[in-house]
C-alpha cells in the first residue's frame, strides 16, 4: 500500500447498534474500492473484518478490525466495530484512533440503545460524525422517518445530504442533494427521468440542507436571508466546516449487500469528513507541560496503542495510531507509560487478518506491530529524549462476575497464564483469585462477554472451563456472650500433651474486626504459650461453626487456664485454643452474615417503577432517587450481593439495554433466618461432596 500524507488520510470508525449492517457496509466499501476482489457476506462468514472464529460462528462482530482502502487518491482507514453492548470496550479503543465516526442506523429500527451510547462516546472524544441509514432495501424501511428520529434525538444539525431513490424493494440509488445528481448501481441517471414525487421530496430536502448549513454561520445566514439560496461553493464550504466542527451531521443512505449507495458514500466520506491531520492530540511532556501534537511526519513520534490481540502462536499484535512523527520498522522506541525502551520489529498495515509489511507508518495513519514486550493497550510509544504521553483510554467498568472452574488439572495449570493474556487484549475483563472461595472469578460487561472469554480460553489456549455464578463470601459472627474452657490432654506412653485455657467470646460491632485480649495475670499460663493459644483461635476462626465461613467482629478474652511442667507445649495450647473457640462460638448464638452492596441504577424515568419493583424482590433497601439527566433517574439502594449476581442480565432485559448500574461492597449484615437455612444446607452439601471425593 502507498504511503499517504496525513491530509490525504481519513480515519473512520464504523459504529452503531448491533446488526445494523456495519460489517456488511465495510465489506461493500472495500469491494467497491477494489481493496478486496470478492464481496464477502456475513451469512457465509466470508467478510474481511469478521474473520475471527467466534465472529464467523456467531455472525456478529466481536473485535474491532481494520479495513483500509484507497478512493480518490485518499486513504480511508475504516475500523469495523461491534454493535453488541458486551463489546463496547472495542468501540472505546477504536474511537481513540479516528477523527470521525460513521454511525449506522437501521432503516426499519431507527435510533436504538447503542446508537445513543456510540454518540456519547463520540462526544467524549470530540469526533466528527456521519449517520448512515442502512438496510434501506428492507421491507418497511422508511428514510424520512429515520431522519426525523435522528434529528429529534441528536438535534437539527443532523440533515440528509443524500436522498434515496425508492424505498424497500424498490430502493435503487441515491440523489446527491448538494449537486442534485442521481447515482444508481448502473451509473448516473438524469433527475428528470425519476418519478416526480422522488425529485420533489429531494428538492424539499435540499432546501432543508441549505437552511441548516446557513444556520451554522452568521455570514451564511445573511447571504441566505438576502438571496434565498447559497452559492454551490458556499454550500460545500459551509457543509465541510460545519461537519468538521461538529455543528452539522450529514445523513446518508445505503443498502450494503446490494452495493446501493456505496460509491456515493465513499465520495461523501472523503469529501465531508476531516483529514487525519485535523485531530490534534494533546500529550503530556515527560519534561512537564502539554504539547499539542501536529500530524507532522518529522515531528516527535507519538503513537498510541488502541487495541491488543493475543495470539498463542504469533504472540501479541498491537494496533496503533500515529498522532505525530513517523513510526519505523526495526527501530527502538520509548514506552512513556512504562518508562522502558521497546524494540520494534516489522510494522504492518492490516486489513482484517491480512498483513502487509510497511517499512514505516507516518503521522495520521494506523497500523500494527507484533510482539511488543512492554506495551499494552493505551500506552504511548515515543522518542525517549522528547517523550510525550497521550491521554489514557478510559474503558468501562465490568458489570458482571462469574466463576471459572477448570475442567481438569491440566486446564487448571494453564488457566492463570491464559487469563493474563486475555486481559492484555481486553481491558473490560478483570480476573480475581478469590482464594477464600477457592475460585477464580472473571468480570466483564455481561454474560455473553464472559461466555466469549470462556470460548477464547478453549480455542486460543486449549483451556477447558465451565462458568458458574460465583460463591458469595458470607461471614459468621456471634450475638451473645460465652465463657468456656478448652482443655487438651493426652497421655500416650512417654511424654503427654497438656494445654488448658478459659476464654470469653463477645460480639463486636460491624467493621470493628477481631480483637484478642490477654487477661492472664500471675502465671496461670506461662507467657510463651499465649501466642499459641491465639494462633489456635485465629485458625479456628477461618472456618466458622455455622456454615464454615470466616468469623469476623468478635472479641476473645483469655481469662484463665492451667499448665503442666513437662507435658505442656505450643502444640497442646494451640489445640486447646482452637477447641475453646469452637465451643464458645456454639454457645454464643452464632449467625451468618452476608455482604451488602451499595447500588446505583440509572434508567429512563418511565422504567423506574419496574426497576424499583425488581429491586424490592431482591431484598433491597431503597435509599433514594435523584434525577440522572436526559430523562433518566438514578435510584440508590442497598442490596444483598447474593441477589445481585446476575443483575447485569436482569437489568438488560428489564430496560432493553437502556439501564446502567454501579455497585460496590458496603458492609456485612445478618442473613434472614429462612435464607440462612438455605445457605447452611448448601454449605453442608458442598462439604460432603468434597469429603466424599
Ligand atoms: N436486507 C439487507 N440486509 C442487510 C443489509 N446490511 C446488512 N444486512 C444483513 O444484516 C445482518 C447483520 O449485518 P452485519 O453487517 O453483520 O451487521 P453489523 O452491524 O456488523 O452487526 P454487529 O457487528 O454484530 O453489530 C446480516 O445478516 C446482513 O446480511 C442491507 O443493507 N440490507
Ligand atoms: Mg459487524
> pLDDT at position 571, please?
94
- Name residues whose C-beta falls within 8 Å of residue 58's C-beta, 6 or more positions apart in sequence: none
pLDDT at residue 493 is higher than 80 = no
Angle subtended by helix axes 143-154 and 113-124, to nearest 10: 50
Asked if residue 628 has pLDDT above 90, the reply is: no
Residues with CB under 6 A from ligand 1: 18-24, 42-43, 60-61, 82-84, 134-135, 137-138, 255-257
Among 122-136, 328-342, 488-502, the minimum mean pLDDT is found in 488-502
Q: Tell me, in angstroms, the distance from the centre of ligand 2 to residue 50's CA.
A: 7
pLDDT value at 494 more than 80: no
The closest ligand to the CA of 265 turns out to be 1
Over residues 377-412, the pLDDT tens digits come to 999 999 999 999 999 999 999 989 999 999 999 999
Alpha-carbon dihedral angle through residues 609, 614, 620, 622, given to the nearest 10 degrees: -10
**pLDDT confidence of residue 445:** 94
What pLDDT does residue 294 have? 86
Can you tell me which atom of ligand 1 is nearest the CA of 17?
25
Alpha-carbon Rg for the chain in angstroms:
33
Tell me the pLDDT band of 630, cut-offs 50, 70 and 90: confident
Q: Is the confidence at residue 344, as pLDDT, over 90?
A: yes
What the block records as the C-alpha cell of 115 is: 446508537
**Does residue 90 contact residue 118 with C-beta atoms inside 8 Å?**
no
Contact 465, 406 (CB under 8 A): yes
Percent of the chain with pLDDT over 90: 84
Q: 99 — phi, psi (to 5°)?
A: -105, -20
Q: How does pLDDT run across 260-307, given as a tens digit for each residue? A: 999 999 999 999 999 999 888 888 998 888 988 888 888 999 999 999
Closest residue by CA, ligand 1 atom 24: 60
Closest ligand, as measured to the CA of 103: 1
Grid coordinates standing for 588? 454464643
8 Å CB contact between 248 and 154:
no
d(CA 99, CA 131): 15
Q: How far apart are CA 662 and CA 399, in angstroms?
A: 7
Contact 441, 403 (CB under 8 A): yes
Q: What is the mean pLDDT of the chain?
A: 93
Q: Is 426 left (phi over 0), alpha (psi -120 to 50) or beta?
A: beta
Phi first, then psi: give them for residue 164, nearest 5 degrees. Answer: -75, 145
- Asked if residue 313 has pLDDT above 80, the reply is no
Give the β-pairing of 475-478 and 590-604. Answer: antiparallel
Among positive and negative, which fits the CA dihedral 342, 346, 347, 351? Answer: negative
Cβ contact 326:301 at 8 Å: yes
The yes-or-no verdict on residue 456 having pLDDT over 80 is yes
- Cα–Cα dist 671/620, whole Å: 13
Nearest CA to ligand 1 atom 5: 135
Q: Rounded to an integer, what distance in angstroms lies between the CA atom of residue 680 and that of residue 683? A: 5
Distance (angstroms) between ligand 1 centre and the Cα of 24 equals 6
Q: What one-character DSSP code corresponds to residue 211?
A: H
pLDDT class of 629 with cuts at 50, 70, 90: confident
Averaged over 472-476, what is the pLDDT? 94
The ligand minimizing its distance to the Cα of 262 is 1
Q: Where are the alpha helices (DSSP H) in 168-322?
A: 196-215, 218-227, 232-245, 262-272
Give, using CA atoms, the residue closest to atom 3 of ligand 1: 135
- Is the distance from CB of 525 to CB of 468 less than 8 angstroms? no
Question: What torsion do the CA atoms of 481, 485, 486, 490 make, to the nearest 10 degrees?
Answer: -170
Find out whether 476 and 592 touch, Cβ atoms under 8 Å: yes
Q: What is the pLDDT of residues 663-678, one digit of tens each?
A: 989 999 999 999 999 9
C-alpha cell of residue 353 = 487478518
CA-CA distances (angstroms) from residue 201 to 44, 161, 206, 250, 272? 38, 13, 9, 17, 23
Cβ atoms of 117 and 19 within 8 Å: the answer is no
Choice from 19, 164, 166, 167 to test ligand 1 binding pocket (greatest atom count within 8 A of CB): 19
> What is the distance in A from the centroid of ligand 1 to the CA of 495?
82
605 phi-psi bin (left φ>0, alpha ψ -120 to 50, beta other): alpha
The 10s digit of each residue's pLDDT in 576-618 is: 999 999 999 999 999 999 999 999 999 999 999 999 999 999 9
- What's the 60 CA to ligand 2 centre distance in angstroms? 5
Residues in the chain: 693
3-state helix, strand, coil in the chain (%, to 5): 35, 35, 30
Burial (CB < 10 A; 0-12, 13-18, 19+), residue 231, is exposed
CB neighbour list of residue 648: distance below 8 Å, 6 or more residues apart: 399, 400, 445, 446, 447, 661
Q: How far is the CA of 87 from the centre of ligand 2 (A)?
A: 11
Give the H/E segment covering residue 13: strand 9-16
Q: Which atom of ligand 1 is nearest to the CA of 260?
A: 31
Mean pLDDT of 82-94: 96
Mean pLDDT of 320-349: 96
Give whole-number Cα distances, 390 to 241, 285, 374, 581, 642, in Å. Answer: 26, 9, 17, 56, 41
Per residue in 133-153, pLDDT (tens digit) is: 999 999 999 999 999 999 999
Residue 259, classified by CB atoms within 10 Å of its CB into exposed (0-12), middle (13-18) or buried (19+), is middle
Give residue 44 CA to ligand 1 midpoint distance, Å.
12
Please check whether residue 629 is in contact with residue 602, taking contact to mean a CB–CB distance below 8 angstroms: no
CA 81–ligand 2 middle distance (angstroms): 6
Residue whose CA lies nearest to ligand 1 atom number 9: 21
Distance, CA 80 to ligand 2 centroid (Å)? Answer: 7
Which of 17, 21, 25, 109, when mutated, tests ligand 1's pocket best, judged by the most ligand atoms within 8 Å of its CB? Answer: 21
Closest ligand 1 atom number to CA of residue 254:
31
Show the cell assigned to 89: 470496550
User: 0.85 cut: is pTM over it?
Assistant: yes
In this predicted structure, the answer to whether residue 311 has a pLDDT above a threshold of 90 is no
pLDDT at 267: 95
What does the pLDDT look like over 24-78, one tens digit per residue? Answer: 999 999 999 999 999 999 999 999 999 999 999 999 999 999 999 999 999 999 9
Name the phi and psi angles at 482, rounded to 5.
-145, 145
Tell me if 347 sits within 8 A of 329, measured CB to CB. yes
Of the listed ranges 370-374, 441-445, 597-601, 682-686, the one predicted with least confidence: 682-686
Q: What is the pLDDT of residue 647?
A: 94
Kindly state the average pLDDT of the residues 149-172: 92
Amino acid at each position: 500500500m502507498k504511503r499517504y500524507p496525513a491530509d490525504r488520510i481519513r480515519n473512520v470508525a464504523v459504529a452503531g447498534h448491533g446488526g445494523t449492517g456495519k460489517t456488511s457496509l465495510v465489506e461493500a466499501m472495500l469491494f467497491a474500492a477494489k481493496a478486496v476482489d470478492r464481496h464477502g457476506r456475513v451469512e457465509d462468514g466470508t467478510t474481511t473484518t469478521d474473520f475471527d472464529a467466534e465472529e464467523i460462528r456467531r455472525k456478529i462482530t466481536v473485535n474491532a478490525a481494520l479495513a483500509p482502502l484507497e478512493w480518490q487518491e485518499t486513504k480511508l482507514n475504516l475500523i469495523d466495530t461491534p454493535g453488541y453492548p458486551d463489546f463496547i470496550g472495542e468501540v472505546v479503543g477504536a474511537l481513540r484512533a479516528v477523527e470521525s465516526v460513521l454511525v449506522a442506523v437501521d432503516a426499519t429500527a431507527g435510533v436504538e440503545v447503542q446508537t445513543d451510547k456510540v454518540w456519547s462516546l463520540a462526544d467524549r472524544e470530540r469526533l466528527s460524525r456521519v449517520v448512515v441509514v442502512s438496510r434501506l432495501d428492507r421491507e418497511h424501511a422508511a428514510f424520512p422517518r429515520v431522519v426525523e428520529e435522528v434529528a429529534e434525538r441528536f438535534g437539527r444539525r443532523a440533515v440528509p445530504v443524500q436522498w434515496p431513490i425508492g424505498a424497500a424493494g424498490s430502493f435503487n440509488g441515491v440523489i446527491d442533494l448538494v449537486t442534485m445528481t442521481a447515482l444508481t448501481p448502473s451509473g448516473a441517471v438524469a433527475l428528470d427521468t425519476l418519478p416526480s414525487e422522488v425529485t420533489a421530496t429531494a428538492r424539499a430536502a435540499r432546501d432543508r440542507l441549505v437552511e441548516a448549513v446557513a444556520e451554522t454561520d452568521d455570514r451564511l445566514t445573511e447571504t441566505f436571508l438576502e438571496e434565498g439560496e447559497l452559492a454551490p461553493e458556499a454550500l460545500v464550504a459551509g457543509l465541510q466546516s460545519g461537519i468538521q466542527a461538529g455543528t452539522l451531521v450529514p445523513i446518508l443512505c445505503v443498502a450494503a449487500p446490494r452495493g446501493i449507495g456505496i460509491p456515493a458514500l465513499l465520495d461523501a466520506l472523503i469529501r465531508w469528513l476531516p483529514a487525519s491531520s485535523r485531530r490534534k492530540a494533546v500529550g503530556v511532556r515527560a519534561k512537564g507541560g502539554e504539547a499539542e501534537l501536529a500530524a507532522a511526519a518529522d515531528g516527535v513520534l507519538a503513537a498510541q496503542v488502541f487495541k491488543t490481540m493475543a495470539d498463542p502462536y504469533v504472540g501479541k499484535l498491537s494496533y496503533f495510531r500515529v498522532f505525530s512523527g513517523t513510526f519505523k520498522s526495526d527501530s527502538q522506541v520509548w514506552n512513556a507509560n512504562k518508562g522502558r525502551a521497546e524494540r520494534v520489529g516489522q510494522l504492518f498495515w492490516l486489513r482484517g487478518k491480512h498483513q502487509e509489511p510497511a517499512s514505516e507508518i507516518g503521522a495520521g495513519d494506523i497500523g500494527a506491530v507484533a510482539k511488543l514486550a512492554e506495551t499494552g493497550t493505551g500506552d504511548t510509544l515515543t522518542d525517549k529524549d522528547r517523550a510525550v504521553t497521550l491521554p489514557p483510554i478510559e474503558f468501562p467498568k465490568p458489570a458482571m462476575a462469574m466463576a471459572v472452574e477448570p475442567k481438569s488439572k491440566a486446564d487448571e495449570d494453564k488457566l492463570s497464564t491464559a487469563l493474563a493474556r486475555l486481559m492484555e487484549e481486553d481491558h473490560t475483563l478483570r480476573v480475581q483469585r478469590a482464594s477464600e472461595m477457592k475460585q477464580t472469578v472473571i468480570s466483564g460487561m455481561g454474560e455473553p462477554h464472559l461466555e466469549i472469554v470462556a470460548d477464547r480460553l478453549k480455542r486460543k489456549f486449549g483451556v477447558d472451563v465451565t462458568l458458574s455464578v460465583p460463591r458469595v463470601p458470607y461471614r459468621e459472627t456471634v450475638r451473645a456472650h460465652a465463657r468456656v474452657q478448652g482443655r487438651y490432654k493426652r497421655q500416650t506412653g512417654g511424654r503427654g500433651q497438656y494445654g488448658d485455657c478459659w476464654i470469653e467470646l463477645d460480639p463486636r460491632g460491624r467493621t470493628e474486626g477481631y480483637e484478642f485480649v490477654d487477661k492472664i495475670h500471675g502465671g496461670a499460663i506461662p507467657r510463651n504459650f499465649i501466642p499459641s493459644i491465639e494462633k489456635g483461635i485465629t485458625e479456628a476462626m477461618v472456618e466458622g461453626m455455622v456454615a464454615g465461613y470466616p468469623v469476623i467482629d468478635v472479641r476473645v478474652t483469655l481469662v484463665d487456664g492451667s499448665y503442666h511442667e513437662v507435658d505442656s507445649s505450643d502444640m497442646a495450647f494451640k489445640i486447646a485454643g482452637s477447641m475453646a473457640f469452637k465451643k464458645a462460638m456454639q454457645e454464643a448464638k452464632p449467625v451468618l452474615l452476608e455482604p451488602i452492596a451499595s447500588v446505583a441504577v440509572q434508567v429512563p424515568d418511565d422504567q423506574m417503577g419496574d426497576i424499583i419493583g425488581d429491586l424490592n424482590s431482591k431484598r433491597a433497601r431503597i435509599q433514594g432517587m435523584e434525577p440522572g439527566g436526559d430523562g433518566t433517574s438514578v435510584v440508590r439502594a442497598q442490596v444483598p450481593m447474593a441477589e445481585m449476581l446476575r443483575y447485569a442480565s436482569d437489568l438488560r432485559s428489564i430496560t432493553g439495554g437502556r439501564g446502567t448500574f454501579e455497585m460496590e461492597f458496603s458492609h456485612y449484615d445478618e442473613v434472614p433466618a429462612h435464607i440462612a437455612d438455605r445457605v447452611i444446607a448448601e454449605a453442608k452439601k458442598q462439604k460432603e461432596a468434597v469429603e466424599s471425593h
